[in-house]
Structure 1
Amino acid sequence: MSFTINSFRLDGRRALITGSGKGIGLELARGLGAAGATVVINDRNIEKARAIASQLRDEGLHAEFAVFDVTDREQVVDAITTFEAGTGAIDILVNNAGIQRRAALEHYDANDWHDLMRVNLDGVFYVSQVVARHMIARGNGKIINICSVQSELARPSIAPYAASKGAVKMLTKGMCAEWAQHGIQANGLAPGYFATEMNRALVDDQAFSEWLCKRTPAGRWGRVEELCGAAVFLASKASDFINGQTLFVDGGLTSVV
């Protein structure tokens, strides 16, 4: 196929974004929807998921919803199987659901460790495995795993989070190794420091914000809408020969010392 600008369009494609009731996930849903995709909002709460999908439709986008907890494998299997059979194919999967727990590593609570790993890593595995089975049967699909600059870099108080995101980066490579032969492209999208609800404490910390702006070549926090171009690219036919890679959207943070 010859390249055209339409290679970036997502018309006729359906994109499931986990944890998309707020923050980065919701903004990615808007970005993919603006490129033509029908977006599937995911949340554990049916009222919230339905309301967000309705809000996006009011904004002129095509939106549906699927309710499940990414950490509950039975829910994941039932919800995705039912959705595929009753609504339609999931052509694009964005594994966005994630949590953060901050504490010094020597005092890190074991329950917080397990909660974080269940959402950030187990959830990616559960959802990807079920969705990929349908993609394999169709011979095509796009998987975008939300990684982080902490897939490469560590800092105090978030070592378990860094461990989880490093694991997601390597799981992405594993998906490429296993599923590229079936026409699936699996890549990571790694945000730097973005002004989101999850980072509210850091945004409000004047000393940290000053350090970050000096540390980042772009000299500022990222804006969530700045992730959408990379997501659309990785979800589109324009990236059909890109697989197992992690694209950092970080204002240059991981490129300099």
Structure 2
Amino acid sequence: MSFEETPPTTEIFADDLLAGETALVTGGGTGIGKELALAYADHGADVAIASRSMDNLAPVADELEERGADACATTVDVRDPDDVDAMLETVLDELGDCSILVNNAGANFLCPAEDMSANGWRSVVGTILDGTANCTFAVGDHLIDRGGGTIVSMGATNSVRGAPYHVHSGAGKAGVHNLMQTVAAEWAQYGIRANTVAPGVIRTEGVMEVMGEAVAEQVVEEDLAADRLGTPADCVAVALFLSSQAAAYVTGSYYAVDGGQLLAPTPM
């Protein structure tokens, strides 16, 4: 079986799928976050993007507006609750609402567990878990006040198994998974849905800088049921579904987008 490339979402979903919605995408200036932001604009949403670097955000904001969206770009350190509050205030001032939160900001580096420093641990867990929590709580208060909304958090498949050389990332993403399940249970009464999209190995510039083509080929041959690495488009399609009314009865769920990496290897 060949795992064909996921088509552009404009070929799958209606152009007005998210009409009337306003999405906030953290880490929206590069990689999967950028592709998420552009896809939300393609399907009718106004879009705010946030990260630590305005240099990354500014050209994406221009492209969002070229696609017909009202756009907002604002810097944020998601590890700082006060900074997150300021981010949300900027988004509400410029776009008037926030109905969809996409927690995508992340950090990672390779390190054996025995060599992990306290600063290294905090830099990654602080961004992945604390950052997701800070954004979820801040935007969650707004969603409660407005009568509902949607939260989509980008997890990772290393959250549900061992994460060799990624102990900080694996632990942080496991926390994100539980956080989404917990707020899904608590906030359903307010009309809020919360779900996790968990990518496996996705071919982005950052991932390939770390892996290289040789390792990527080995992963495909030895670790995946699919015959290719994932692409940002594979994650975007799932996130759009979860953000839309097509997923009106879906909350607290965990969607692995990993080409079957979590499956047991086939015995030879």
* Same topology, TM > 0.5: yes
Q: Deviations over 1:170-190 (max 9, x none)?
A: 011111121111000000001
Deviates more, 1:16-25 or 1:244-253: 244-253
Q: What's the CA shift for 1:49?
A: 2.2
Q: Deviations over 1:35-82 (max 9, x none)?
A: 211111112233442332012323444432232211111111122134
Q: What's the CA shift for 1:87?
A: 2.9
Q: Structure 2 residue aligned with 1:153, among 138, 158, 161?
A: 161
Matched residue SS, 1:188: strand
Q: Structure 1 residue aligned with 2:50, among 42, 52, 75?
A: 42
- Number of aligned residues: 253
How do 1:99-138 and structure 2 match up within 5 A?
99-138=107-146
Matched residues in 1 for 2:47 and 2:221: separation? Answer: 33
Q: Which amino acid aligns with 1:103?
A: C
In structure 1, stretches of 5+ residues that fail to align are none
Matched residue SS, 2:163: coil
Q: Which amino acid aligns with 1:174?
A: T
How do 1:63-142 and structure 2 match up within 5 A?
63-142=71-150
Deviates more, 1:135-144 or 1:196-205: 196-205
Deviates more, 1:155-164 or 1:187-196: 155-164
Matched residues in 2 for 1:97 and 1:196: separation? Answer: 15
1:241 maps to which residue?
249
Matched residue SS, 2:136: helix
Task: Kindly indicate whether the alpha-carbon contact (under 8 Å) linking 2:15 and 2:42 is maintained by their aligned counterparts in 1.
Answer: no
Q: Please say if 1:170 is aligned against 2:160.
A: no
Matched residues in 2 for 1:241 and 1:192: separation? Answer: 25
Q: Deviations over 1:101-146 (max 9, x none)?
A: 2111011121110111110010001111111111001111000010
Q: CA 1:156/1:240 → structure 2, altered by over 3 Å: closer, same or farther?
A: same
2:3 maps to which residue?
none
Task: Kindly indicate whether the alpha-carbon contact (under 8 Å) linking 1:14 and 1:90 is maintained by their aligned counterparts in 2.
Answer: yes
Deviates more, 1:226-235 or 1:152-161: 152-161
Task: Kindly indicate whether the alpha-carbon contact (under 8 Å) linking 1:30 and 1:56 is maintained by their aligned counterparts in 2.
Answer: yes
> TM-score, structure 1 length as denominator?
0.91
How do 1:207-246 and structure 2 match up within 5 A?
207-246=215-254
Q: Please say if 1:187 is aligned against 2:195.
A: yes
Q: Deviations over 1:145-187 (max 9, x none)?
A: 1001111122321112111111110011111121111000000
> TM-score, structure 2 length as denominator?
0.88
Task: Kindly indicate whether the alpha-carbon contact (under 8 Å) linking 1:39 and 1:63 is maintained by their aligned counterparts in 2.
Answer: yes
In structure 2, stretches of 5+ residues that fail to align are 1-12
Task: Kindly indicate whether the alpha-carbon contact (under 8 Å) linking 1:100 and 1:198 is maintained by their aligned counterparts in 2.
Answer: no
Q: What's the CA shift for 1:21?
A: 0.6
Q: CA 1:118/1:219 → structure 2, altered by over 3 Å: closer, same or farther?
A: same
Q: CA 1:251/1:93 → structure 2, altered by over 3 Å: closer, same or farther?
A: same
Deviates more, 1:148-157 or 1:122-131: 148-157
